[in-house]
Amino acid sequence: MISRRTLGWVLLEFLGSMNLAITLLVAIAIASVVGTVLQQNQPYPNYVLKFGPFWFEVFRWLGLYDVYGSLWFIGILAFLIVSTSVCLYRQVPAMLREMMRFRTQIQLNSLRGFHQRAEWLVPERNVEQVLAEVTGAFRARGYRWRLRDYGDHQVAAAMKGRYNRLGYLFTHAAVVVIGIGGLLDGNLWLKLKEWRGEIAIEKRDLSSRDVPAISRLQPGAVPAFRGNVMLPEGSAANFVFLRLRDGFLVQELPFSIELEDFQVAYYDTGQPKSFISRLRIHDREQLGDQPLAATIQVNHPLVYRGYAIYQSDFGDGGSKLELRAWPLSGTRLEPVELKSEVGNGLKLTGSTGPLNLELDDFRLFNLLPEPDAKPGDRKFRNFGPSFSFKLRTASGEAREYFNYMAPAQLEGRWFYISGMRARPGEPYNYLHIPAANNSPERFLKFNARLHDADWVKTALKRSEPTTENPDFQRDLNVVRANLLNLFLHGGFTAVSERAKAVVPPDRLQEATKLYFNILRDTLAELFLEILREEGIKVEEGIGESEDAFFNDALSALASLSSYEAPFYLQLSGFQQVEASGLQVTHSGGTFIVYAGFLLLVTGVFIMFYTSHRRIWVWLAVEEGATRLVVAGTANRRQADFSQEFSLLQTTLSQRLGVAALALGEGA
């Protein structure tokens, strides 16, 4: 008997204890922090990169990449639900009793122990008269009361605001209700199915068609899900992808969604103003042959058959790009024209072997902080269309590039900008190709000519001064050719490295300076030759802009050596095809959760802003007088109650015509 009671009782005691409740509240708060500090549900390789293989495994084991879906976290939440339920189970009966009972069974001594109390000896009035005054006072303030006659004395027990007790019930029931609704809407069902082996997440990069049945969910298979699909304009889908850890599942829908078109509207400043998808829902079962047309945008979803369809993302749906590949390493002057679509690849043969060109993205607008702005100035500039691509070598290594279509003006000069990075997630290194006449051609031609040894030789010959010393001239020519070669393959660094290798340290500075001067002069000569080819009369002097162009060209040439692409890919034309990212959700628990919200708000307000007040009146006849003892309590807002009580005291004193006895005098 004792042991049975102990076990069940101890468990109940533990689960319903305030200490556990507070511990759980704080534990959930702290556990939640983890998931906000570590970005959740990223692709797993990102985590490996960040933490290294060892910690990656440890954190994976702890479920830190999806904290809120991890068993331990759901466990704590479930614990809170259980604990709150036990608390309710244990408190509610007492609270209901507290609401219903007037508690007329009370002793004089306990009344005299109350913090709020007062006592009178009323001469020349009988009990009934005094009682009438008191109950009149109760009535005036909306107190309800019960009277009990004990023969030698009477007790009236009054109360008001007993619904305050419902506040506790509502609030805590709300926690349970919201918790349960939330669990129903979480990915508990998927976990259950996975655990029973009914589904397995797909980790390969497959198209939806090829995903095997074990990774597909039929409509209605789970009561709640949240999935995404990216639809190019003009296409349709009857499924969404559910991302789960490092893989995904395909959730089929009982209808199909077609994206007619997707539009982004912009403010004058270039910031996006609205994302609008025009959809058609095809549903033979419900709609027959007539599709349902609907427009959705952010904050305005479509709810169809209990499935909510939201505008959540956008991207490229296979824009058609016209490209011009300008060779960077050979002597060829003309670009090669190419055509492809975003999402597709092209096989190319570079100078160093076969290359795969993968077109990744196209963007119509690039709104970026104004680079020429004063610090702190929050100006933005639209840099216009851009596209990004990867160049993948046969061994699988890839570099990413990001090129703007139009030249951009920086510090008053115009550049074609191309970013390159060797690893995803790193910042881009930018190549600034100076533009002339709205084209990168002059620079690219200059570069190609520099790679043409014969052209260089002839050009330099033309500018050779007539000299008395042909040997010197020949040596100088060799030095010039060498420096140029070094520069083209390794930039300025290669030149100074060479100087370091061949010149003794005491003359290094001087020699480096000399090398650079020779190199610069040589390049200047060659640049003049390019201008000549363009038909510019350089003998009449060149303008400031050409001068600036030359300086910018030098910087660009110097950084070409680390650009690592055999060509510069210029975007010459495009036809944009957009894609709209839709999120489709189905949440069976929403209704429950919303009901919980209602309970919670009602409960909180009742609990804070009402109070359950009780006032007892004890009356007895005593030698020609009536003894009146009044005492009261409130379970909330004690300050307000003490004011009310003292008001009651003054009022009763007035009406009875006697002052209250000083406290302590009564007994």
Partner 1 sequence: MAITHQVVLEQWDQPSLWQRLTLWDILWGLLVLVGSGYAYTLYQPYMDRYEIAIPLGATIALIAWGLYWKPARLFTLIVTVLAVMALWRYGTHFELRKSDFLLKYFLESQAAFMWMSSLYVLATFTYFVALFGRSAFIGKTATALTWSATGIGLTGLLVRWRESYLLGADIGHIPVSNLYEVFILFALITALLYLFYEDRYRTRAMGGFVLLVISGAVAFLLWYTFDRQAHHIQPLIPALQSYWMKIHVPANFIGYGAFALAAMLGVAFLLRSGAEAHRPDGLMAQVLPPLELLDDVMYKAIALGFAAFTIATILGALWAAEAWGGYWSWDPKETWALIVWLNYAAWLHLRLTKGWRGAPMAWWAIIGLFVTLFAFLGVNMFLSGLHSYGTL
What part of residues 351-380 is at the interface with partner 1 (CB under 8 A)?
Answer: 376-378
**Contacts made by residues 260-265, CB under 8 angstroms, sequence distance 24+:** 260/233, 260/234, 260/293, 261/233, 261/234, 261/578, 262/233, 262/314, 262/317, 262/578, 262/579, 262/580, 263/578, 264/314, 264/364, 264/578
Q: Is 187 in the site for partner 1 (CB under 8 A)?
A: no
346 and 357 Cβ atoms separated by less than 8 Å: yes
Beta strand 345-350 pairing with 353-363: antiparallel
Q: Is 425 in the site for partner 1 (CB under 8 A)?
A: no
Kindly list the distances between the CA atom of residue 239 and the CA atoms of 229, 495, 512, in Å, as whole numbers in the listed order: 8, 59, 66
528 and 521 Cβ atoms separated by less than 8 Å: no
What part of residues 601-620 is at the interface with partner 1 (CB under 8 A)?
Answer: 601, 604-605, 608
For partner 1, give the closer residue by CB, 219 or 345: 219
Look at residue 205 and give the partner it binds from ligand HEM, partner 1, none, a contact being a CB closer than 5 to 8 Å depending on partner kind: none
Positions touching ligand HEM (CB under 6 A) are: 16, 18, 21, 25, 83-84, 87, 91, 168, 171-172, 175, 604, 607-608, 635
Q: Is 642 in the site for partner 1 (CB under 8 A)?
A: yes
Supply the minimum distance, in Å, between the C-beta of residue 635 and ligand HEM. 6
Look at residue 32 and give the partner it binds from ligand HEM, partner 1, none, a contact being a CB closer than 5 to 8 Å depending on partner kind: partner 1
Look at residue 297 and give the partner it binds from partner 1, ligand HEM, none, a contact being a CB closer than 5 to 8 Å depending on partner kind: partner 1
Look at residue 438 and give the partner it binds from partner 1, ligand HEM, none, a contact being a CB closer than 5 to 8 Å depending on partner kind: none
Q: Is 280 in the site for partner 1 (CB under 8 A)?
A: no
- Exactly one of 83, 312, 386, 626 binds partner 1 (CB under 8 A); which one? 312
| Residue with the two structure tokens 């305030």 | 18
Distance CA 170, CA 177 (A): 10
Supply the minimum distance, in Å, between the C-beta of residue 219 and ligand HEM. 35
Region from 26-34, 246-254, 457-465, 495-503 binding partner 1, contact rule CB under 8 A: 26-34
Q: Is 566 in the site for partner 1 (CB under 8 A)?
A: no
For ligand HEM, give the closer residue by CB, 570 or 635: 635
579 and 232 Cβ atoms separated by less than 8 Å: yes
Supply the minimum distance, in Å, between the C-beta of residue 499 and partner 1. 45
What DSSP letter does each residue of 76-87 carry, written as one string? HHHHHHHHHHHH
| Token pair listed for 427 | 């910042």
CB atoms within 10 A of CB 387: 22
Supply the minimum distance, in Å, between the C-beta of residue 494 and partner 1. 41
Q: Is 71 in the site for partner 1 (CB under 8 A)?
A: no
652 and 133 Cβ atoms separated by less than 8 Å: yes
Supply the minimum distance, in Å, between the C-beta of residue 341 and partner 1. 27
Q: Is 308 in the site for partner 1 (CB under 8 A)?
A: yes
Q: Is 407 in the site for partner 1 (CB under 8 A)?
A: no
Q: Where are the beta strands (DSSP E) in 413-566?
A: 413-421, 429-434
Distance CA 666, CA 635 (A): 26
What part of residues 198-257 is at the interface with partner 1 (CB under 8 A)?
Answer: 226
CB atoms within 10 A of CB 11: 11
Q: Is 648 in the site for partner 1 (CB under 8 A)?
A: yes
Phi, psi of 269 (to 5 degrees): -75, -10
End-to-end CA distance of the chain: 47
| Residue 327, helix vs strand vs coil | strand
Supply the minimum distance, in Å, between the C-beta of residue 312 and partner 1. 6
Instruction: Tell me which amino acid residue 199 is.
Output: I
* C-alpha closest to that of 40 among 244, 192, 315: 244
Look at residue 597 and give the partner it binds from ligand HEM, partner 1, none, a contact being a CB closer than 5 to 8 Å depending on partner kind: partner 1
274 and 580 Cβ atoms separated by less than 8 Å: no
Look at residue 83 and give the partner it binds from ligand HEM, partner 1, none, a contact being a CB closer than 5 to 8 Å depending on partner kind: ligand HEM
251 and 582 Cβ atoms separated by less than 8 Å: no
- Exactly one of 10, 11, 12, 26 binds partner 1 (CB under 8 A); which one? 26
| Token pair listed for 140 | 């005036």
For partner 1, give the closer residue by CB, 431 or 615: 615
Region from 400-408, 410-418, 474-482, 596-604 binding partner 1, contact rule CB under 8 A: 596-604
634 and 143 Cβ atoms separated by less than 8 Å: no
326 and 568 Cβ atoms separated by less than 8 Å: yes
Look at residue 172 and give the partner it binds from partner 1, ligand HEM, none, a contact being a CB closer than 5 to 8 Å depending on partner kind: ligand HEM
Look at residue 310 and give the partner it binds from partner 1, ligand HEM, none, a contact being a CB closer than 5 to 8 Å depending on partner kind: partner 1
Phi, psi of 293 (to 5 degrees): -90, 140
379 and 369 Cβ atoms separated by less than 8 Å: yes
- Exactly one of 646, 657, 659, 667 binds partner 1 (CB under 8 A); which one? 646
Distance CA 334, CA 501 (A): 38
For ligand HEM, give the closer residue by CB, 23 or 409: 23
Q: Is 22 in the site for partner 1 (CB under 8 A)?
A: yes
- Exactly one of 68, 365, 428, 455 binds partner 1 (CB under 8 A); which one? 68
Q: Any idea what DSSP says for residue 661?
A: P
Look at residue 509 and give the partner it binds from partner 1, ligand HEM, none, a contact being a CB closer than 5 to 8 Å depending on partner kind: none
For ligand HEM, give the closer residue by CB, 394 or 601: 601
| Token pair listed for 245 | 């850890």
∠ Cα 308 312 316 (to 5°): 130
386 and 403 Cβ atoms separated by less than 8 Å: yes
Supply the minimum distance, in Å, between the C-beta of residue 605 and partner 1. 6
For ligand HEM, give the closer residue by CB, 84 or 329: 84
Supply the minimum distance, in Å, between the C-beta of residue 78 and ligand HEM. 13
Residue nearest to ligand HEM according to CB distances in the complex: 87
Q: Is 62 in the site for partner 1 (CB under 8 A)?
A: no
* Residues counted in the chain: 667
Q: Is 32 in the site for partner 1 (CB under 8 A)?
A: yes
Phi, psi of 527 (to 5 degrees): -65, -40
Please report, as ranges, the residues that interact with partner 1 according to CB under 8 A. Answer: 18, 21-22, 25-26, 28-29, 32-33, 35-37, 39-40, 67-68, 137, 140-141, 182, 185, 226, 267-269, 271-275, 297-301, 308, 310, 312, 376-378, 583-585, 587, 590, 593-594, 597, 600-601, 604-605, 608, 639, 642-643, 646-648, 650-651
